[in-house]
Amino acid sequence: MRGNHFGKMFSFMSFGESHGPAMGVVIDGLPAGLDVDLAQLQLELDKRRPGRITGTTNRNELDQAVVLSGVYAGKSLGSPIAVTIQNTNQKSSDYDQLKTEVRAGHADQTTLDKFGVRDHRGGGRASGRETVARVIAGYFASLIIPQIKVKAFTSHLGPFTYNGIPEKPHTDFGDYGFPEVAKSEEIKKYLENLKADGESIGGAVTVVIDHCPKGLGEPAFDKLKADLAKAIMSIGAVVGFSFGSGIDFLSLKGSEVSADKSHFGGIEGGITNGERIVLTVYFKPTSTVGEKAKAGRHDPCIIPRAIPVVEAMTKVVLADHLLRQRAYGDGNK
């Protein structure tokens, strides 16, 4: 099985299955001498930790990070960083019936077709549990880009929609990531009702990136928008990605677009222009519904726990491209 590695100058490889002994990640390319705060790493993991947010999965994992290498006395060593997370709350019996059944929209049948064998417990390698490795990588990526602010928030979840960008986007919007925090209780009840009915819902996440330097991205195949798209689209349940005015470009005239650079979302010709970058990510409803959803421990909506994963993959891409840009030295000035 290939495709477990992401990035070039800053890269990581994730490993582990949803109901195996542990999940993990090996990170390469982090410069030496950076301050590493394991408490902050744990805070990032807690944002997506199963069992913390009401109305999501009942699986309750502590997701305690164990750093095996690459960090000493609070500093990065420049060597590969290996981190593991123990799986302690598996309930594999929930998936017994899936030994002989497959679920529409999951990788059950396609994995079997491709490899001839699969781990049916929680989706195995295709499980959303894999994203814990991405959050870890995102924390270490953030050490390379401390000046860049990355914040994702829920812009659409069922009947709840937030249009535009909050006045102060880089703030805490609560467990459900919705800028109108006062509606958090309504969202919680909405998700609890979905869960009780064995139903699910999709939605959208908006990402705001501020203080990104100019010049990140390459003109051809490694455009920043292309690498961001791959990073975001590799997250399970993501079905669409856009930046800037996105789908609104379909109804805008060229003269309207060119009159306001903000339409380009901070990226022109695949390279950052130094302005705010705005991304939109679209999620499908989680595929397990009906009695299977009621019997198992599934998220009726992936968005609340996916927000830190979207932020992490964005940080990984930005860190990778910043290191690439530094590699040019002064030759491109």
Lowest model confidence (mean pLDDT) among 24-33, 44-53, 128-137: 44-53
Q: Is residue 333 part of a domain?
A: no
Q: What is the mean pLDDT of residues 161-189?
A: 96
Q: What is the mean pLDDT of residues 265-289?
A: 94
Whole-angstrom distance, CA of residue 237 vs CA of residue 290:
18
Q: Is residue 80 part of a domain?
A: yes
Which residue has 């000035």 as its token pair?
A: 333
The whole-number pLDDT of residue 98 equals: 64
CB neighbours of 197 closer than 8 A, spacing ≥ 6?
none
The whole-number pLDDT of residue 58 equals: 65
Q: Is residue 332 part of a domain?
A: no
Q: Is residue 251 part of a domain?
A: yes
Find residue 13's DSSP bridge partners.
Answer: 5, 26
- Residue-wise pLDDT for 105-156, tens only, equals 778 888 888 888 887 776 767 888 899 999 999 999 999 999 999 999 999 9
Structural domains of the chain, count = 1
The CATH number of the domain where 26 resides is what? 3.60.150.10
**Is the full-model pTM beyond 0.75?**
yes
Q: What values do phi and psi take at 66, rounded to 5?
A: -115, 115
Q: How far, in whole angstroms, is CA 147 from its chain's centroid?
A: 20
Q: What is the mean pLDDT of residues 44-54?
A: 81
CB 162 within 8 A of CB 52: no
Beta strands in the chain, from DSSP E residues, in sequence order: 5-7, 11-15, 22-28, 65-69, 71-72, 75-76, 81-86, 149-157, 160-161, 203-210, 238-243, 267-268, 271-272, 277-283
Which residue has 């705001």 as its token pair?
A: 208
Q: Is residue 145 part of a domain?
A: yes
Whole-angstrom distance, CA of residue 131 vs CA of residue 147:
25
Provide the domain limits for residue 313. Answer: 5-327
